[in-house]
Amino acid sequence: MSRAGGAGAPGVDPEQLWLSSARPRRGRKPAYSREAITAAAVALADAEGLEAVTMRKVAARVGAGAMSLYSYAPDKETLLELMVDHVSGELPTTNTLTGDWRADLKAIARLQRAHMLRHPWLPAALATRRVPGPNTLAFLEHALAALRPTGLDGAAKLEVFAQLTAFVAGHVAHEIARTAASQSPDRAAAEARYLAAVAADGRHPELAEALAAPGRPLTPEATFTRFLNRLIDGLDTD
Partner DNA sequence: CTCAATATCCGTACGATGTACGAGAATAGA
Partner DNA sequence: TCTATTCTCGTACATCGTACGGATATTGAG
Site for DNA in 75-114 (CB under 7 A): 75-77
Task: In angstroms, give the least distance from the CB of 27 to a copy of itself.
Answer: 26
Can residue 49 be called a binding residue for DNA (CB under 7 A)? no
Can residue 218 be called a binding residue for a copy of itself (CB under 8 A)? yes
Q: By CB under 8 A, which span of 35-43, 61-69, 100-108, 181-189 interacts with a copy of itself?
A: 181-189
Task: In angstroms, give the least distance from the CB of 80 to a copy of itself.
Answer: 14
Can residue 66 be called a binding residue for DNA (CB under 7 A)? yes
Q: In Å, how far are 14, 57, 184 from 108, measured between CA atoms?
A: 26, 34, 32
Task: Output 71 or 225, the one with its CB closest to DNA.
Answer: 71
Can residue 238 be called a binding residue for a copy of itself (CB under 8 A)? no
Helices 76-88 + 134-147 axis angle, to 10 = 50
Site for DNA in 141-180 (CB under 7 A): none
Task: Output 62 or 140, the one with its CB closest to DNA.
Answer: 62
Pattern 126-155, a copy of itself, x by CB under 8 A = -xxx-x-----xx-xx--xx--x----xxx
Report the partner that residue 54 touches, choosing among DNA, a copy of itself, none (CB closer than 5 to 8 A by kind): DNA
Q: In Å, how far are 54, 140, 174, 221 from 117, measured between CA atoms?
A: 22, 19, 11, 12
Q: Which of 40, 55, 122, 199 binds DNA (CB under 7 A)?
A: 55
171/82 Cα distance (integer angstroms): 23
167/165 Cα distance (integer angstroms): 5
Strand ranges in the chain using DSSP code E only, listed in sequence order: none
Task: In angstroms, give the least distance from the CB of 57 to a copy of itself.
Answer: 21
DSSP string, 150-213: GT--HHHHHHHHHHHHHHHHHHHHHHHHHHHHHTSHHHHHHHHHHHHHHHTTSS-HHHHHHHH-
On the 0-12 / 13-18 / 19+ scale of CB atoms within 10 A, 2 is: exposed
Can residue 13 be called a binding residue for DNA (CB under 7 A)? no
Task: In angstroms, give the least distance from the CB of 86 to DNA.
Answer: 17
CA dihedral 40, 170, 133, 141 (to 10 degrees): 130
Question: Where does this chain bind DNA (CB under 7 A)?
Answer: 1-4, 24-32, 53-57, 64-68, 70-72, 75-77
